[in-house]
Chains A and B, each alone.
Chain A
Amino acid sequence: MTTSSSTASTGRCALLLTCGAALLVILLALASLNTGASQMKLLHLLTQPDDRVTRVLFASRLPRTVALTLAGAGLAVAGLLMQMLARNRLVEPGTVGTFSAASFGMLLAALINPGMALWLKFVLVSVCAALGSWLFLAILQRIPLRSALIVPLVGLVLSAVLASGSGLVASLFELGQALRAWNSGDFSAILRGRYELLWVAAGMTVLAMLLADRFTVIGMGKDFATNVGINYAALMVLGVLMVSLISASVVITAGALPFVGLVVPNLVRALVGDNMRRGIVLVALCGAALMLVADLLGRLLIHPYEVPSANLLAIVGSLVFIVILLRGRRQWA
C-alpha cells in the first residue's frame, strides 16, 4: 500500500533506534562485567582461565550486570505503564507513592519477622506497593480538575506522606538506617542468589510488551477503551499489579531507584511518539542502558569505593525532569 509507506518509515526509525539501543546495552553490559574492585578482566577468561576468575565472574560480576539490566528495563517499563494508567507523562513509581509504599512494606516485613522468607516478603511488599499505587489512582479519580501538573503533585504529596509515616515507624523501632538503605538503591551487594527476584520484573516487562496495544488504549481514557471493547477496570488492576511487582522486586533487591521510570519513557516518547507498541522495547533497552551507566559511573568515580546508583540517578534524573518541564511548559499551561 503506497499510502502507508511513510508510517512504515516511522516504524523503521523506531526499529533502527531499538537496534542501536540493543547494541549499546550489550557494550555497556560487557563494560560492566569488566569493572569491579577485583582486578579480574574478561580477557583473563580466554588467556588464563582459572578458578578465581570464573568464581568472580559467576558469583558477582554476572549477577550484578544481569540485575542492573533487568532492574533498569523493568523500572523504565513500569514508569511507562504508570504514565498510561495515570494518563500523565510526569509520573513514575517513585513519584506516585509506589516506592514509598514498597519501602513501608519492607519496614513491616522487618518488624514482623526480620528473617521472613523471601517469597513472603515479596508478597507483602508487592501488596503494599499495589495499595499505594491504587490510592494514588483513586485520589486522581476524585479530582475534578486534572491539569497535567496537578497529577504529579498529588503523587509527590502522597509519596511524602507515606515516606514520613515510614520514617516515624522506623525511628520508633530504630530502623532508620535500614529505611535509608531501602530508599537509596544500589547494586554493590548483588551476588548470585540475591538478585533472582528480578526475573519477576523481567516477566512483567515482557508481559507489558505483549499488552502494549491495550495499555496505549488505556492511556486514551476510559471511554475510548470501552468503545473498542477493552475492560478498562480489569486492565487498570492488571497494570497496577505489574507496576507493583516490578517495583517490589527492585526495592527488595537493590532499593528504590528514582527517575529511571520518568526520564527514559519521556525521552523515548519524544522520539517515537506515544504508541506503546512502537516504543516499549526501546524504553526497556534505554532503561537497562541508563541503569548500567549509572552503576558504572558509581563504581568508577571514587574507585575502589562506590557511589550508590540512586544518588547519581537522582542528580541526572532531576535535571532531565526540569528540562522536560521547561520544554513542555506551553503544554502544561
Chain B
Amino acid sequence: MIEAKTLSKRYNERLVVQDVSLQIPRGGVTAIIGPNGAGKSTLLSMISRLTPMSAGSVEIDGMDVTRTPGPELAKRLSILRQHNQTSLRLSVRDLVAFGRFPHSGGRLTAEDQHHIDEALDYLSLNEFQDRHLDELSGGQRQRAYVAMVMCQDTDYVLLDEPLNNIDMRFAVDMMQLLRRAADEKGKTVVVVLHDINFASCYSDHIIAMRGGKLAWQGTPDEVMRDEILSELYEIPMQVHELNGQRICVYFRMG
C-alpha cells in the first residue's frame, strides 16, 4: 500500500501540493486526474522520492521513502517521468537493461537477460531492440521507456502521463498493457492521465486533484459524474453510459 500523510510541496511561497493524505491499495490501476497545475506530477514525484516533500510523509508498504535506501526502494517502486527525453544514444535493449540495475548492479545474469527479453516482448519491441532511441518514433520511444520500468519488475509502477505524444492506437495498447500488468502480474499501477475517458475505462480507482488538493477519489462510477467533472475542470461536462463504459463528453457543449 502507498500511504501519503499530509503531503505538501512548496516552491518559494507557492503551494503546489497542499496537505494531501491518501491511500493507494495494493493491486489494480489507479489514475490521477485533474486540470493543469493541479499538482498531479508533483504528487507522483514526491511519492517516488524524486522530489523532496516540504511537509508530510510517504510510506510504501510501511517503508518511508525518504529514509529507505535508494537501491532497496528501486526494487519495490519504479517511476517514469513525463520528460525523460535523454540525449544519450542508447539501443533499446541497453535502455531496457538499465531496468535491471537495482537487481544486478550492471552485471547482467541469465535471469536478467530473461527479464529484458520478456519486457521487450511485452511491449512488442523485439524488432526494434537494436535501434538507437533517436531512431524511433515518439510512440516507440515511449514504449521503450515503459519496457524499462517493466523490466525493473517492481510491485509498484508509477507513470506520469505515459500517453503523451502517442496516437490513439498506441494509447489503447499502452492502457491495455498497464491493465494486464495489474491483472496478470499483480502490479500496482499508478498513472497520471489527462484523458479522463482512459481513466474511466481502465482504472479501478480515480484520484482527482485540483489546486494542489485532493478533490475527489473513488471508483470510476463514483468519480465519473457530470457535477464532479464539471466542477473539477470548470467546463460543462456530461457523462454518458456507452457499452457499459462511462464516457465523458465535453468537446462542444451548449
Provide the bound-state CA to CA distance between A213 and B152, in Å.
16
CB-CB under 8 A from A88, the residues of chain B are 87
Contact mask A3-27 → B, CB, 8 Å, 1/0? 1101100100000000000000000
Q: A224 contacts B86, CB within 8 Å?
A: yes
Q: B75 contacts A229, CB within 8 Å?
A: yes
CB distance from A311 to the nearest CB of B (A): 32
Q: B49 contacts A226, CB within 8 Å?
A: yes
Q: B126 contacts A3, CB within 8 Å?
A: yes
Binds B, one of A39-47, A95-103, A130-138, A214-222: A214-222
Provide the bound-state CA to CA distance between A231 and B73, in Å.
12
> If the complex has contacts A229-B74, A275-B94, are A4 and B89 also in contact, measured as CB distance less than 8 A?
no
Closest residue of A by beta carbon distance from B85 = A221
Among A7, A214, A219, A277, which residue has its beta carbon within 8 angstroms of that of B93?
Answer: A7
Q: B117 contacts A217, CB within 8 Å?
A: no
Q: Which of A208-245 contact B (CB under 8 A)?
A: 213-214, 216-217, 219-224, 226-231
Confirm or deny: B216 has a beta carbon within 8 angstroms of a beta carbon on chain A: no
Among A1, A7, A228, which residue has its beta carbon within 8 angstroms of that of B102?
Answer: A228
Confirm or deny: A194 has a beta carbon within 8 angstroms of a beta carbon on chain B: no
Q: A274 contacts B50, CB within 8 Å?
A: no
Provide the bound-state CA to CA distance between A213 and B104, in Å.
11
Q: B117 contacts A4, CB within 8 Å?
A: yes
Q: B74 contacts A220, CB within 8 Å?
A: no
Q: B88 contacts A274, CB within 8 Å?
A: yes
Confirm or deny: B198 has a beta carbon within 8 angstroms of a beta carbon on chain A: no
> If the complex has contacts A10-B130, A273-B132, are A228 and B101 also in contact, measured as CB distance less than 8 A?
yes
Binds A, one of B8-16, B55-63, B76-84: B76-84
CB-CB under 8 A from B149, the residues of chain A are 227
Confirm or deny: B37 has a beta carbon within 8 angstroms of a beta carbon on chain A: no
Q: A273 contacts B78, CB within 8 Å?
A: no
Q: A10 contacts B91, CB within 8 Å?
A: yes
> If the complex has contacts A87-B87, A216-B88, A274-B90, are A230 and B101 also in contact, measured as CB distance less than 8 A?
yes
Among A6, A269, A274, which residue has its beta carbon within 8 angstroms of that of B130?
Answer: A6
Q: Total A-B pairs in contact (CB under 8 Å)?
A: 92
Q: B79 contacts A227, CB within 8 Å?
A: yes
Contact mask B126-165 → A, CB, 8 Å, 1/0? 1001101000000000000000010010000000000000
Provide the bound-state CA to CA distance between A116 and B212, in Å.
59
Provide the bound-state CA to CA distance between A245 and B106, in Å.
25
Q: A227 contacts B87, CB within 8 Å?
A: no
Closest residue of A by beta carbon distance from B116 = A4
CB distance from A168 to the nearest CB of B (A): 37
CB distance from A226 to the nearest CB of B (A): 6
CB-CB under 8 A from A299, the residues of chain B are none
Counting contact residues on chain A (CB < 8 A from B), the size range is: 20 to 34
Q: B87 contacts A229, CB within 8 Å?
A: no
Among A6, A89, A273, which residue has its beta carbon within 8 angstroms of that of B87?
Answer: A89
CB distance from A292 to the nearest CB of B (A): 28
Q: A7 contacts B129, CB within 8 Å?
A: yes
CB distance from B241 to the nearest CB of A (A): 39
Closest residue of A by beta carbon distance from B49 = A226
Contact mask A96-130 → B, CB, 8 Å, 1/0? 00000000000000000000000000000000000
> If the complex has contacts A6-B129, A7-B93, A229-B72, are A223 and B88 also in contact, measured as CB distance less than 8 A?
no
Provide the bound-state CA to CA distance between A231 and B120, in Å.
27
CB-CB under 8 A from A3, the residues of chain B are 117, 120, 126, 129
Provide the bound-state CA to CA distance between A10 and B193, in Å.
37
Among A6, A220, A221, A223, which residue has its beta carbon within 8 angstroms of that of B79?
Answer: A223
Provide the bound-state CA to CA distance between A269 and B80, in Å.
26
Confirm or deny: A207 has a beta carbon within 8 angstroms of a beta carbon on chain B: no
Q: A275 contacts B49, CB within 8 Å?
A: no
Provide the bound-state CA to CA distance between A1 and B108, in Å.
14
Q: A1 contacts B129, CB within 8 Å?
A: no
Q: Please report A residues at the B interface, Cβ cutoff 8 Å.
A: 1, 3-4, 6-7, 10, 87-89, 148, 213-214, 216-217, 219-224, 226-231, 269, 273-275, 277
